[in-house]
Amino acid sequence: MRDHRTISIADQIFDQLESEILTGKYKKGDILSEVKLSEELGVSRTPVREALRRLVQDRIAEDTSKGVVVIGISPEDMMDMYDIRIDIEGQAAARAAKNITDEQLAEMKEFIDLQKFYIDKDGDMASKNDNIRDQDSQFHEMLYKATGSMVFFDMLTNIHHKITKFRRISINDKERAQQSYEEHSAIYDALAAHEPELARSRTVRHIINARDNIKKRLILEGND
């Protein structure tokens, strides 16, 4: 049996490395050295090795003769994930419209209001955009939770998390951030009215718009 302390440290290291890969700190082709990471993080090599193994299992890194190499999420992967979201998240919204509680609606409204607050707020752009992205994540996670299905929740939360870097690209566009807020508000209204088909169609349109905006920005930046 593995030591629980080792597993806990490995979880923390995995979360940190995954976040740094998905946000672009580590680029495709970067080598994740077990020895170097162990020294930098001040931990033994065992939890680092476990964290690297999980990154390989999740297909955002690969084990090569040179060591564990970052793969990340490519624009092509991102487009596939958005296609999956269009199909599945629309279904999730329809189910959520049937099951969502008043408490969940109230919490979702807070996320939307905070999203608007950060869009309009002056200040450091990086911090501001991180806050907008966090509220976006909270909104969608509440939508997934409102389905009452852990299958929907786990699958969609995982996909939403993995496209973090691309969502940041979209949020950096103030016009798109405002449009996203308006789309979230429209989805909320459909959920509050318990209208499954309206919630589904508005959610699908929201995801298509987000995908198309990211694709446009990637082309403009020469990353497509």
pLDDT at 40 over 80: yes
61 forms bridges with which residues in the sheet? 70
- B/e letters for 130-145, b = 16+ CB within 10 Å, e = fewer, are ebbbebbbbbbbbbbb
pTM of the model: 0.80
Does residue 122 sit in helix, strand or coil?
A: coil
CA-based torsion, 130, 133, 138, 139: positive or negative? positive
What span, in angstroms and rounded, lies between the C-alpha atoms of 221 and 183? Answer: 25
pLDDT digits (tens, 9 = 90+) for 87-99: 999 999 999 999 9
**Beta strand 31-32 pairing with 67-70:** antiparallel
pLDDT at 90: 97
pLDDT digits (tens, 9 = 90+) for 132-142: 989 999 999 99
pLDDT at 2: 44
pLDDT digits (tens, 9 = 90+) for 182-201: 999 999 999 999 999 999 99
The H-assigned helical ranges of the chain are 4-22, 34-41, 45-57, 75-99, 102-120, 125-145, 150-162, 164-171, 174-192, 196-220
pLDDT at 220: 61
Q: What is the mean pLDDT of the segment spanning 49-63?
A: 93
pLDDT at 19: 85
pLDDT at 124 over 60: yes
Is 22:164 a contact under the CB 8 Å cutoff? yes
Q: What is the mean pLDDT of the segment spanning 155-181?
A: 86
pLDDT bin (cut points 50, 70, 90) of residue 58 is: confident
Which residues, other chains included, contact 81 with Cβ-Cβ below 8 Å and sequence gap of 6+?
73, 159, 162, 163
